[in-house]
Amino acid sequence: MKGLVKIIGLILGILGLSSKASAVKKAKVKKIDQQVKKVKQAKAKVQKKRTQVKKAQKKATKKKAPKKVTSAKKAASSLKRRAKK
């Protein structure tokens, strides 16, 4: 079977058709390479967005210290808000 393929390849080479066959193969490979490049770019975008979301989540989960109260009125309202929670 392999010998037959070699003979056919040799005949095509003599006739000058092997370059056409290899050009078709190269075109297919080029299309696949372009698709791979698009997938890599999309993956990079997703990874970048994912890291941003993770940072935002981490920032949101951090507890913030309550603001310092300067007057008695603010202190009373602050205590009421904390009691509601």
pLDDT of residue 35: 96
Instruction: Give residue 13's identity as a one-letter amino acid code.
Output: G
pLDDT of residue 48: 95
State the Cα angle at 23 between 18 and 27, rounded to 5°.
150
pLDDT of residue 33: 94
CA distance 44 to 51: 11
The per-residue pLDDT for range 30-43, each reduced to its tens digit, is 999 999 999 999 99
Q: What is the phi/psi pair of residue 67, to 5°?
A: -70, 150
Look up residue 16 and give its DSSP letter.
Answer: T
pLDDT for residue 50 is more than 80:
yes
The per-residue pLDDT for range 15-33, each reduced to its tens digit, is 766 667 778 888 899 999 9
Is the pTM value of this prediction over 0.85? no
